[in-house]
Structure 1
Amino acid sequence: ADTKLTAIAPGMNRLQWNLRYPDATEVTGFQAPIAAGGLDDTVEGPTVMPGRYTAVLDYGGKKSAQPFIVALDPRLHPAPDALAARLALGLKIHAALDTLDRTLNQAIALRDRLDGAVAAGMTGAKAQPALSALDADIASLVALQIQSSEGSLMHETKLRSHLAYLAADIDLSYDRPTQAEYAVFDHLSQQALAGEQKLHADIAQGQRVL
């Protein structure tokens, strides 16, 4: 996990690593509901493996490094390769979520541009098919209507959140993922690829209008 942190203010700064890979991209305008005892709906990266790491401070042209060890809770005794398998699947889910969210953001940005062009009378009726396709395909993949902690009770859970919930489920156990978790990921990743293909087609259609 190669993560760079930047001080936010002059003077002394305390930067604390959460022992995770960097966050995935989040969907523009998405507000995740509060877990309230359930699984987290976040784009946090998976937890790193136990092992030796190095913190590097690069300031004023000088670098200083300090090694440190991330140790597993001594009460836990996973099989030797279980944590590696857990991380491998976690990274696959993380990559799938990041790619989906980046594509969604491209589609959302284009939809907003088309909306602006329509409002300004620049495109006439020819933008409507592209706008309708973008609206439908974006809505099929992410619930942008969620605006409160109870939003998931009122709106259907969509693919973006299903991927996040699967990542959170794997994160709960320091053990090898189950066959069911692998199967769910295969299913969700296929849905993500299909959804991204539709979004890319919608984006191409919308760009032709502009």
Structure 2
Amino acid sequence: MAPEGPLALPGVYTIRLTVDGKRYTQTITVRADPRSHVAPAALPAQHALLTRLSSGLRASWADFKPVAQLRGAVTRLAAGDTASAVAKAAKTLAAKLDSLAGDSLSDARELWQPRPTAWSLVDLNSEFAFELDAQDNADHAPTQAMLALARSSCEELRKAVERWRQFVRADLATFNRLLSSHGVATLATPPAREALCAP
């Protein structure tokens, strides 16, 4: 089961719903689980960690999609052609995109497997899901090890996004110049994302 993300902290919340221009408002009170016996400061600390991990999970998947789409477009350019300069460059480009994106069907890491040394976006998405699942089991203050692991995963996501930006600036730009010189339509430059892990 996929992680659902952070639960609401105990407190009073206002829910608003607008349907056909009509606005409905309701106040609700969220209470702590009476079975939970953690210190009052533990829940906000865990909530902050869950929020950060959830944003990393969403960001890694959102970043994967344009990389995978570009990989598909590059692969289609080389389909059935192995000799031309465009096909050779497309094959090289697709290999770089493979290492950056990963494969959402075959590369997803299992919990018992070691952390990778070179992270793909699929690897990172799995890692954020593992870390979220570990927090979903009970109310508890995050340990220093949990916080360090989250920081490490967020840093790896930052590095992966930077590799993607560098790829777009250099490799994709060079490939588009090659396409243009051969009279082939260039590939769209995907927009750069700014949001990574929440602070």
Question: How does the TM-score come out when normalised to structure 2?
Answer: 0.71
| CA-CA distance at 1:89 after TM superposition | 1.0
RMSD of the alignment, in Å? 2.8
Amino acid at match of 2:87: G
**Structure 1 residue ranges (4+ consecutive) displaced by more than 4 angstroms after TM superposition:** none
State the percentage of identical aligned residues: 25
Structure 2: segments with no counterpart, 5+ residues: 116-122, 176-185, 187-199
3-state SS in 2 of match to 1:107: helix
Distance 1:207 1:110 in 2: 13
Contact 2:60/2:124, CA 8 A, preserved across alignment: no
Amino acid at match of 2:172: G
2:95 equivalent to 1:132: yes
3-state SS in 2 of match to 1:58: strand
Question: How does the TM-score come out when normalised to structure 1?
Answer: 0.68
Match of 1:56 in 2: 16
Pick aligned residue for 1:206 from 151, 162, 172: 172
Match of 2:78 in 1: 118
Pick aligned residue for 1:76 from 36, 42, 51: 36
Distance 2:98 2:38 in 1: 45
Contact 1:127/1:206, CA 8 A, preserved across alignment: no
2:109 equivalent to 1:144: no
Match of 2:127 in 1: 162
Q: Flag the structure with larger Rg.
A: 2
Q: Which structure has the highest helix share of the two?
A: 2
Amino acid at match of 2:48: A
2:30 equivalent to 1:67: no
Distance 2:163 2:105 in 1: 18
| CA-CA distance at 1:43 after TM superposition | 5.0
Cα–Cα, structure 1 residues 44 and 208, in superposed 2: closer, same or farther, change >3 Å? farther
Structure 1: segments with no counterpart, 5+ residues: 1-39
